[in-house]
Chains A and B, each alone.
Chain A
């Protein structure tokens, strides 16, 4: 088994990946919020997830995003002036794409730490709660950010199978 000290620091990786995506894609700065583990999900939050699989790990990247933030991102990215075109379908697509990009950055950083993995297609849901159940064999890394007044959350979960 890989010594715990050699395993990737999921919190550091998540924070770095998430802030990089927000900055590069949307030119937005974000502030890391501490001690937000008990934050409850708003009923209309969008959850988007991407599975990661590799020889030395299996895991997932979960984002929780307020619809107002995703609508803002869609306006910025697509240049939509007309709110009627900023549909739930388009917002779900954008939330999935954001998760895909964050997962891509996470995967690149995991590879540098010796844990290469591939990305799977994003899945998106509304009214879903982030899985926070802790298990002994699953490592967690949680990042909460404030960006443009919105509270955004990322959780990475990884399992490192023994050889």
Chain B
């Protein structure tokens, strides 16, 4: 079955960047622009992995993670946190909420692919 990745970031640039990054792989990429939208998509689509921004308007990554962990259907969904803020306080907070990994922005594309590939299979799409 094709794995589903949910990208949640208020920056359209980052969402387009991730779409380009995962296009060569056999996976479905869904998008949301904030935590509130992300929660709705996650509960409906049951993604195999969420790539979640830390700082967002409406509902930030921490608030969304807290709500996910209270929901039996989403409490075990793997999450990779994307954050420009690499302060120890932020990292301690996300660690307590059980994120699988985190990536500090800006990131090298291979770094993110490597971390995603440890959670879901990234298989190159078959040539048409």
A binds B: yes
List A residues at the B interface (Cβ < 8 Å).
20-21, 24-25, 74, 77-80, 89-90, 93-94, 96-97, 100-101, 103-105, 107-108, 111, 116-119, 121
Q: Are B16 and A78 in contact (CB under 8 A)?
A: yes
Is B107 positioned at the interface, with any CB of A under 8 Å from its CB?
Answer: yes
Q: Are B87 and A121 in contact (CB under 8 A)?
A: no
Whole-angstrom distance between the alpha carbons of A119 and B86 in the complex?
Answer: 10
Q: Are B84 and A103 in contact (CB under 8 A)?
A: yes
| Stretch in B6-14, B37-45, B70-78, B113-121 touching the partner | B6-14
Q: Are A100 and B17 in contact (CB under 8 A)?
A: no
Q: Are A101 and B12 in contact (CB under 8 A)?
A: no
Whole-angstrom distance between the alpha carbons of A121 and B106 in the complex?
Answer: 16
List B residues at the A interface (Cβ < 8 Å).
11-14, 16-17, 19-20, 55, 57, 83-90, 104-108
Whole-angstrom distance between the alpha carbons of A111 and B90 in the complex?
Answer: 12
Residue A107 contacts which of B13, B19, B85, B108 (CB distance < 8 angstroms)? B85
**Given A24-B108, A101-B106, A121-B57, also A78-B84 (CB < 8 A):** no
Q: Are A24 and B20 in contact (CB under 8 A)?
A: no
Whole-angstrom distance between the alpha carbons of A96 and B87 in the complex?
Answer: 20
Closest CB pairs A-B (n = 10): A104-B84, A78-B16, A25-B106, A79-B20, A94-B13, A24-B106, A97-B11, A77-B17, A108-B86, A100-B84
Chain A residues whose CB sits within 8 angstroms of the CB of B19 once the complex forms: 78
Q: Are B89 and A121 in contact (CB under 8 A)?
A: no
Q: Tell me, rounded to whole Å, the shortest Cβ–Cβ distance linking A108 to chain B.
A: 5
Whole-angstrom distance between the alpha carbons of A103 and B106 in the complex?
Answer: 11
Question: Which A residue's beta carbon lies closest to that of B107?
Answer: A24
Q: Are A108 and B55 in contact (CB under 8 A)?
A: no
Residue A77 contacts which of B16, B57, B88, B89 (CB distance < 8 angstroms)? B16
Q: Are A77 and B87 in contact (CB under 8 A)?
A: no
Q: A77-B17, A104-B83, A104-B86 are in contact. List 9 more A-B contacts (CB 8 A).
A: A79-B17, A90-B13, A94-B13, A101-B84, A101-B106, A116-B87, A118-B85, A118-B90, A121-B55
Q: Are A78 and B87 in contact (CB under 8 A)?
A: no
